[in-house]
Amino acid sequence: MRPIDIMKRNASYASGYKNFPSEKQMQAKRLCWQYNRTSPDEQVKRREILQ
């Protein structure tokens, strides 16, 4: 199953899913961390992170 299929499922997320590469998990965690550290007025930076 592809990672996008896992995300679209109507089920709880399991971070230890074996077919989801840990490298991609770490990248997602870093991006979430960066996004959560931005202020509401940093819309350009937020859009860049989401891209």
| Whole-model pTM over 0.75 | no
Tens digit of each residue's pLDDT, the chain (51 residues)? 687 887 788 777 666 656 666 788 889 999 999 999 999 999 999 999 999
- pLDDT value of residue 13: 64
Residue 2 makes CB contacts below 8 A (sequence gap 6+) with none
- pLDDT value of residue 7: 77
- pLDDT value of residue 8: 82
**Would you tell me how many other CB atoms lie within 10 Å of the CB of residue 7?**
9
Give the Cα separation of 44 and 5 in Å (integer).
29
